[in-house]
Amino acid sequence: MMYAQGKAQFGDAMKGFWLYDGDLCPACQQNGSGVVHFKGKEALSINGFMYRERGILIGYFLCEVCTLFIHDQSQKHPYQETPLHAKIEENLRNAYHGYLASLN
C-alpha cells in the first residue's frame, strides 16, 4: 500500500522501495520502534521518507516517544518539520547506504 501511494505521489521519480528494519528508532537511535499507544489503542507508527537523490521510498517505524513528540508538534505547528525530521532523514540515508554496502 505504501509503495502504491509513493508511486502515485512521486511517479517515475520513485525507482524503488526499502524498509528500514533496524532495532533502533531512526529518530532517537535509542528506543525500539513500532508499537505506539495512541488515543487508548495500540497502533504502528509506520512512516515514509522519499530519498530523492536515489529515488527510493524508505519505510520506517518510530518509537512511541518520538511518534508522540512529532504528533504533538504537528498539532502545535501544522505543516512544519521539526529538527527531529532532519535527524530521521540523516539516519535513514546512512542506514540505506549501509544496506547497499552490505550487498557487495
Whole-structure pTM over 0.85, yes or no? yes
**Which tens digits make up the pLDDT trace of 60-94?**
999 999 999 999 999 999 999 999 999 999 999 99
Q: Over the chain, what is the mean pLDDT?
A: 92
Number of domains the chain contains = 1
Q: Is the pLDDT of residue 45 over 90?
A: no
pLDDT of amino acid 89:
97
Residue 5 cell numbers, joined: 501511494
> Residue with C-alpha cell 508522540?
68
d(CA 34, CA 44): 5
Q: Positive or negative, the Cα torsion across 4, 21, 95, 70?
A: positive
Strands 56-61 and 16-19: parallel
pLDDT of amino acid 15:
95
Residue 90 domain boundaries:
2-102
